[in-house]
Amino acid sequence: MVEILALLADGFGIALQPLNLILIVLGCSVGLFIGAMPGLGSVNGVAILLPLTFVVPPASAIIFLAALYYGAMYGGAISSIMLGIPGASTAVATTFDGRPLALQGLADKALITAATASFVGGTISVILFTLAAPPLAHVALVFGPPETLALMLLAFATFVGLGGEDIWKTIFSICIGLVLAAVGTDIVSGEPRLQLFGLTGFFSSINFLVLAIGIYGIGEMLWTIEQTAKAGGVSMLSRATVSVRRALAHLRGQLALWKATLMGSLLGYFVGILPAAGATPGSMMAYGVAKQMSGNPDSFGKGNPEGVSAPEAANNAASTGSMLPMLTLGIPGSPTTAILLGGMVIWGLEPGPQLFVDEKAFVWGLIASLYAANLFALLLNLTFIPAFIAVLRLPFTILAPVIFVLCLVGGYAPTNRMFDVWLILVFGFVGYLLRKLDYPLAPAVLAIVLGPMTEPALRQSLLMSGGDFAIFFTRPYSGPIMVIAIVLLALPLIRHLVRRYKTG
Amino acid sequence: MSVRLAEIVMACVMAAFSVYLMWKSAELNIGWIEDEGPGGGAWPFWLSAVMLLSCAGIAWNWWRRSTPLARSTEPFIGTAARGIVLQVVVLLTVVVALFDVIGTYCALFLFMLVYLAVIGRHRVRIALAWAVTTPVVTFLFFEIVIKVILPKGVTEPLFYPIFRFFGMGGI
Amino acid sequence: MKVRMIASLLGLAGAVMAPFAAHAWEPAKPVEFVIMAGKGGGADKAVRFIQSIIAKENLGPTVLPVNKPGGSGAEALLYLKGKEGDNHTLMFTLNSFYTTPLRQPGLEVDIETFTPIMRMAEDTFCLWVNTGRKDGEDINTFDDFVAAAKAAGDKWIMAGTGKASEDNLITDFLNTTFGLDMKYVPYKGGGAVAKALAGNNADSTVNNPSEAQGFFVAGTVRPLACMTPERIGLFADAPTMKELGHDFVYFMQRTVVGAPGMSEEAATYYQDLFTDVFNSGDWQEYRKKRALVGDPLTGDDLMEYWKREREIHRGMLDKLAGK
């Protein structure tokens, strides 16, 4: 313990050097804006800026990128809340309640909640990280395909009940998301799969962002334009206000959310550690669990601040958690850490189990900088809230085309493919029509995020066992998770059937 | 078109799409391979089958008029909004088509100008200001700061001096 | 120092850049560097490393990596094919450069039309097992491996990177040569494969050294044999397949390819640029650390190499399909 504190103190000595402090500030700021763009998230930010980091020593380089990672995680919530477009898959769950809050004129409350929850989540997980890094890393290593599948089912289970009134439309939405996730190449047989209409663009899988930007960006904007026209030009977007007094009241209100925030932080941290999982399922599970824990589950999806604080705490906690297997084992816990691993090669470090022993300054400098980056990202975020709110107050006929531009360009940027921009338009137009007919579309977006992790895990497990499903229940970690997932999946279904039976 | 009609038309279109997806999935093995588990096409095939089933469920509800949408005789898109929604859809399609022809930046300029001046009925001066600012800011943020190159079509040579200025090409 | 650093982080470093050697042709805009694989994989890491060398040593203009992993590289190949005559598009290839056009003739991609720039290295393959197996068995030599895998039959799991990939071809060789029946379980990338072995979710792998290195240093995994002509310095204890009596050598190319119909001046420019990268201290260090081999090859030599390798792969794929 004393040894850890001594190492941490050394780490702070590195993190608080002027150069590194400047890098933290710069990283958080750039990250915040990249994260706030619909389409661009921490993966893009880190990948794009990574090759430019060779000018500074490795410890400074990773501090810069980690700050960028953090900034982007904070920023992701901004576009989720303000525009209803998740900036990255990790911020999908934040839209469910963040968006309704913004539409009720409480965008400031949602943004403050997201910022403070991110701070708490990030800080709690850095503390856990500091105290118990190496032992937990072992758990990450034994996690194989069966465990991943069990975890995915758990992520699905906590999302039952997200759908709309019509159960058929909800099922349709989940399935179409999962099928779209199967487009591209079948990894097990290596064959091209679902190359729709013979278009070469379908050689690669459909990026989750394409569906999310299409549905939430284009589709939702068209819907808003229609509603605005119907209401004689009164827009739904520009009711936001902010003042110091309101902000202070919202900050005080955070205390009431402690349960959801704390739960989200812990859950996010542990899920983040597991390779292949990362922040996305973590934030979704946190949302689901917060809903189950809440005394008033029906208020979720209609603007309950707990629905913002739980996933935001979780995704920041998970982004810290995912650095643990990266540093201790050299295996990435998320797509972003996969790129950071590439960075270590550039900086001449050998990622892997020896890193903690050989590169103390690097590792502890990074850990210490996470504390600082968290604090700075919070301050930066709170400072910018009035500016973000001011954007919302623009006339709708100016705001709408600006959002369209962000969607089109932001949709192109991650993959450099015009094909994706066309897909965004198609998904947007169809999504608009489906939305008008009350098809719930959030389940489709979740499904396309979780699908590419679920199917390979299922098939790899069955290959391992020779087609025997027992493999999911006989292993020490997957067995219990599987049972919990099945119970959670079945519960609402049974409840639904009972209710239907009763009402005839 | 009434909402009730739109409901069944959409269900039919989606059912047809589901059948197409099933057919397309069947290009790979959709069965169970001994000792290996499901074939490559099984996952999308059976999920598409469930999509088809859901469409049947939606159609059944429509037939029995058991949901509010299946009973509604209101127009699907009201006359007040139909014009503007259609305008935006057409404008977006044209602009995206122009990305590869006259380049992203010229396309964005036209988009902002048309949207603000025609659809938003702003004064031309305001529309012009936004139409010029948007592509410039987009260029600086995407190409210079985060180094994402957007399509430029025939306008590409115009950008060579700018890249040279920022040291991203030539000498 | 600080000022310089911030400037380059904002991408302005080049503005003060010293002019580099004059050429008949110079890129007029940033050069797109297509990667035939996803973010975070071996090829991706190499390209981002090359990008940093070019920027650091001021060797040339801005290079922008673009990942196009779709269809085992089919997307990247088609993209490059569509860039006919373009002087600002390069691609970093793996062996799917041969196998994907062979397996999907419908793509109508002929690799002989592409412009050969430079082979930067060849990556090697070794056979790996876990040092702390779940069944407690200690596998120290290649013979131990053959005996144990034979006894386990199709319960022996070989993890690799996708059907018909390099790993699959080597697995097929091992299965047919030694009468084994190992089950091949595909994972998404070399890193995931190495992790599956380290976590005892697989019995063996044929990872590139760079992928397994971290676990090797920690003592979690052990190389039993390498598919190289000579022993690899980092794993001096592991014999080559040749020493074990089987003349089997297999490499993965790490090569820079230009769009078809690239102008001769541009091709020369890029060959010079990548020769500079190859000779840089950083790249030599990288080659040593990652156990990369292979001399630089350019122009016609590289094209000959491609044709030879394509025939070898055609034979391997036919054998794999005929099984």
pLDDT tens for B7-63 read 999 999 999 999 999 999 999 989 898 888 898 899 999 999 999 999 999 999 999
| Domain-located, residue B47 | yes
Contact assignment for A190 to C213 by CB distance below 8 Å? no
Q: How far is residue A370 CA from its own chain's centroid?
A: 18
DSSP label at B27? T
B63 and B134 assigned to the same domain:
no
Interchain contact, A52 vs C55, CB within 8 Å? yes
Q: Is B46 on the interface with A (CB under 8 A)?
A: no
Q: What pLDDT was estimated at residue A162?
A: 66
Considering B71, B87, B107, which residue would you say is the last residue of a domain? B71
Boundary residue ending a domain (B26, B48, B71): B71
In this prediction, residue C16 carries a pLDDT of: 37
Q: Give how far Cα A374 sits from Cα of A67, A257, A280, A390, B96, Å.
A: 8, 19, 19, 25, 39
The C-alpha atoms of residue A273 and residue C70 are separated, in whole angstroms, by: 28
Contacts of C191 in chain A (CB under 8 A): 331-332, 338, 341
C56/A190 CB distance under 8 A: no
Domains contained in chain B, number: 2
What would the mean pLDDT of C99-107 be, rounded to a whole number? Answer: 90
Q: B43 and B105: one domain?
A: no
For residue C131, the 8-state DSSP code is S
> Cβ C199–A142 below 8 Å, yes or no?
yes
Residues B124 and B106 in one domain: yes
Helix/strand/coil for C35: strand
Residues of chain A positioned with their CB less than 8 A from the CB of C162: 185, 187, 190
B101 and B133 fall within a common domain = yes
Euclidean distance between the first and the last CA atom of chain B, given in angstroms as a whole number: 61
Which residues of chain A does C39 touch, with a Cβ-Cβ cutoff of 8 Å?
Answer: 43, 47, 335, 338-339
The pair of three-digit structure tokens given for residue B127, joined into one six-digit string? 């529309």
Q: Which CATH superfamily is domain C29-123+252-322 in?
A: Bordetella uptake gene, domain 1 (3.40.190.150)
At A133 the pLDDT is 65
Q: Does residue A115 surpass a pLDDT of 60?
A: yes
pLDDT of C166 > 60? The answer is yes
**Chain B residues with beta carbon closer than 8 angstroms to that of A433:** 6, 10
CB contact under 8 A, B115 and A171: no
Whether residue C48 and residue A330 make contact (CB cut-off 8 A), yes or no, is: no
Question: Which chain C residues are Cβ-neighbours of B145 within 8 angstroms?
Answer: 10-11
Percent of chain A with pLDDT over 70: 93
Which pLDDT score, from 0 to 100, does residue A212 have? Answer: 85
Q: Which residues of A touch B2 (CB under 8 A)?
A: none
Say if strands C89-93 and C252-258 run parallel, antiparallel, or are unpaired. Answer: antiparallel
Q: Is the pLDDT of residue A441 over 90?
A: no
Q: Which helix (H) or strand (E) holds A136?
A: helix A134-142
B149 in contact with C at a CB cutoff of 8 Å?
yes
Whether residue C311 has pLDDT greater than 90: yes
pLDDT of B170 above 80: no
Residue A139 CB: number of other CB atoms within 10 A?
16
Range of the domain at B49: 3-71
| Residue A286: how many other CB atoms lie within 10 Å | 33
Give chain A's end-to-end CA distance (angstroms, integer): 62
Verify that B152 and B95 share a domain, yes or no: yes
**Whole-number average pLDDT of chain A:** 84
Q: Do domains C29-123+252-322 and C126-235 have the same CATH topology?
A: yes
Of C28, C29, C154, the CB nearest to B35: C154
- Is the torsion defined by CA of A78, A84, A88, A93 positive or negative? positive
Does pLDDT of A439 surpass 70? yes
* pLDDT exceeds cutoff 90 at C131: yes
Whole-number pLDDT of residue C3? 45
Q: In Å, how far is A411's CA from the nearest CA of chain C?
A: 15
| Among candidate residues B11, B37, B71, the one where a domain is terminated | B71
Q: In whole angstroms, what is the distance from residue B18 CA to residue C291 CA?
A: 50
A51: chain C residues, CB-CB within 8 Å: 48, 51-52, 55
- Provide the shortest C-alpha distance from residue A355 to chain C (in Å): 9
pLDDT higher than threshold 90 for residue A240: no
pLDDT tens digit string along B104-118? Answer: 999 999 999 999 999
What average pLDDT does range C42-46 have in this prediction? 84
pLDDT in tens, C136-164: 889 999 999 999 999 999 999 999 988 88
| Chain C nearest C-alpha distance from B171 (Å) | 6
Strand order across the beta sheet in which C183-186 lies: C183-186, C157-160, C204-205, C126-130, C221-226
The answer to whether the CB atoms of A34 and B100 lie below 8 A apart is no
More confident residue, C142 or C234: C142
| Residue A432 to residue A220: CA distance in whole angstroms | 7
Look at residue C210 and tell me whether its pLDDT is greater than 70. yes
Based on the fold, state whether residues B161 and B114 are members of the same structural domain: yes
> pLDDT band at C323, cuts 50/70/90?
low
Among A32-41, A212-221, C54-63, C185-194, the range scoring the smallest mean pLDDT is A32-41
Least confident segment among A362-366, A488-492, C104-108 = A488-492
Correct CATH for C126-235 of 3.40.190.10, 3.90.870.10, 3.90.1150.10, 3.10.20.90: 3.40.190.10
CB-nearest partner of C186 from A187, A342, A348: A187
* Contact yes or no for A191 and B40 at CB 8 A: yes
Say how many C-beta atoms besides its own lie within 10 A of residue A266's C-beta.
18
Show which subunits contact A, needing at least 3 CB pairs below 8 angstroms. Answer: B, C
Answer yes or no: do C198 and A141 touch at CB < 8 A: yes
Tokens of A69: 């990672």
Q: Are residue B90 and residue B145 in the same domain, yes or no?
A: yes
The residue that leads in pLDDT, A38 or A264, is A264
* Within a domain: B171: no
Does one domain contain both B106 and B137? yes
Domain ranges of chain C: 29-123+252-322, 126-235
Same domain assignment for residues B91 and B155? yes
Residues B142, C209: Cα–Cα separation, whole Å: 37
Query: Contact A144/C199 with Cβ under 8 angstroms?
Result: yes
**What are the phi and psi torsion angles at A331 (to 5°)?**
-115, 140
Residues from chain C that touch A149, judged by Cβ atoms under 8 A, are none
Element containing residue C257 per DSSP (H, E): strand C252-258
Query: What band does A333 get if pLDDT is binned at 50, 70 and 90?
Result: low
CB contact under 8 Å between C19 and B164, yes or no, is no
Burial (Cβ within 10 Å: 0-12, 13-18, ≥19) of residue C318? exposed
CB-nearest partner of A185 from C51, C70, C286: C70
Are B103 and B131 contained in the same domain?
Answer: yes
- Residue C116 banded pLDDT, cuts 50, 70, 90: very high
Do B61 and B109 lie in one domain? The reply is no
pLDDT: which is higher, C32 or A142: C32
Least confident of A232-246, C153-167, C200-214, C267-281: A232-246
Closest approach of chain C CAs to the CA of A170, in angstroms? 30
Over residues A284-294, the mean pLDDT reads 85
Q: How far apart are CA C96 and CA C115, in angstroms?
A: 17
SS (H, E, C) A142-198: HCCHHHHHHHHHHHHHCCCCCCCCCHHHHHHHHHHHHHHHCCEECCCCCCEECCHHH
- CA-nearest residue to C18 within chain B is B171
- The predicted model scores a pTM of 0.85
Alpha-carbon distance B153 to B98, whole Å?
9
pLDDT in tens, A371-398: 888 999 999 988 888 888 887 778 888 8
Question: Which residue do the tokens 């990030």 mark?
Answer: A122
Q: What pLDDT does residue C261 have?
A: 93
CA distance A184 to chain C (A): 6
**Chain-centre distance for alpha carbon A499:** 34
Judge contact between A97 and A303, C-beta under 8 A.
yes
Distance from CA of A457 to the nearest CA of B (A): 12
